[in-house]
Amino acid sequence: MWREAMRNVKPLRRAPAHRAALEAQIEPRLTAEALPPVPRPHAAPAHHAPGTGLDRQSARRLKRGDMAVEGRLDLHGMTQDRAHAALARFVANADVAGKRLLIVITGKSGVLHRAVPLWLAEGENRARVLSIARAQAQHGGDGALYVMMRRRR
């Protein structure tokens, strides 16, 4: 049936100049250059700047991956909404339990990789989190973040 219906149809041939004019009329696609810059996970938000509570020795140990990890959350395969809720619960529970160093696995790229540092810098997480840093290779490297929690007083 399809062949019968398409028997007399001829493909359209357009000149390259005409094609360029048509493409200019189409709304441009989003490209990496068109998107706003997203902070790198190891580039901590402003309120987590060095010197805001993490001493030099702890910062060095965190950067080297020499501190004991007390909690781990893997966000692979989650939707943004589900991952955001899971992260909020994880950080809140870690705070109540008095845990200091957590690892959050986001994957090396994608929405969660870019969103998690922003989520850690907002709302109640902002008051609980002291610092974030890219994890060492043995803990996931570019696909994971160290989250240093503030001490409970």
pLDDT tens by residue, 71-83: 999 998 899 999 9
Express each pLDDT in 33-44 by its tens digit. Answer: 444 554 444 444
DSSP characters over 7-44: TT-------HHHHHHHHHHSPPPP-TTTSPP---TTS-
Most confident listed range (32-36, 54-58, 114-118): 114-118
- Measured CA to CA, the distance from residue 33 to residue 47 in angstroms comes to 27
User: What share of the chain in percent tops pLDDT 90?
Assistant: 26
CATH code that applies to domain 46-149: 3.30.1370.110
Give the pLDDT band of residue 152 (cuts 50, 70, 90): confident
Whole-model pTM?
0.61
Q: Which residue has the tokens 């068109």?
A: 34
- Measured CA to CA, the distance from residue 25 to residue 84 in angstroms comes to 38
